[in-house]
Amino acid sequence: MLWQNLWLSAKLNVLRSSRQAVCNRWPCFSRRGLRDGGKESAAYALGNIAAHSEERSAQIVKAGALQPLVSLLKEGSDCGKEWAANALGHLAANSEEWSAFVKTGALQPIVAILNEGSCSAKDAAMLLVLLGKHEAMRVRIVSAGILQPLAKLVREGPVDLQDVADRALMILSGSREEYTAQIELVSGLLNESMLG
């Protein structure tokens, strides 16, 4: 029921706030609607709304949308995970409620997505870039074990993902020395796995 309400509210706001085409990701957003609970559609719409307004981002966070988005990040389809990470990224960029992201348990699914290297990994890495702007969040992100998966993506991920993972790793490492140490650690682990 919560997803249906979020989906309907988000869809109305998208229609009111923008008459633009819904970019090249429309197939995930169209007709699936309420048949599957509308989770992917709601995540897409919430991300679109949050991308354009700090005020609306705050309203979305206040309405309790973080927890359902994190649940979708954990258990959704690939498309659902991608849209959830995208929406969370827009909310992180436009909201001062960054500590709420930790309270919802968002960091562990991000680690899993980065380890999988799926299509949602780019949005997950971008979310880390945005959350990493806050010193207290950097400490929590690093303690969640995110640096090694990022370093692995920098070394062997697809080119478009390497750029975002590199930026996230640089922000989260805190120093050039720590960044280099993480890359070297992953290189050593990769070499060991090839030899063993």
| Tens digit of pLDDT at every position of the chain (196 positions) | 555 555 555 554 544 443 333 333 334 443 444 345 478 888 999 999 988 888 888 888 888 899 999 999 998 888 889 899 999 988 888 767 667 877 888 888 988 898 888 778 888 898 888 888 877 788 888 888 888 898 889 888 888 889 999 989 888 888 778 878 877 877 776 566 656 5
- C-alpha distances (whole Å) from 149 to each of 20, 58, 139, 144, 191 are 36, 30, 16, 11, 16
pLDDT at 119: 77
Contacts of 85 (CB under 8 A, 6+ apart): 73, 110, 113, 120, 123, 124, 126, 127
Tokens 């992180």 — which residue? 92
Tokens of 56: 């609306």
What whole-number distance in Å separates Cα of residue 131 and Cα of residue 137?
6
Tokens of 87: 């929406």
- Residue 60 and residue 42 in contact, taking contact as beta carbons nearer than 8 Å: no
pLDDT at 104: 86
C-alpha of 186 from chain center = 23
pLDDT at 141: 87
Please provide the size of the chain in residues. Answer: 196
Query: Residue 154 in 3-state DSSP?
Result: helix
Quote the DSSP letter at residue 64: T
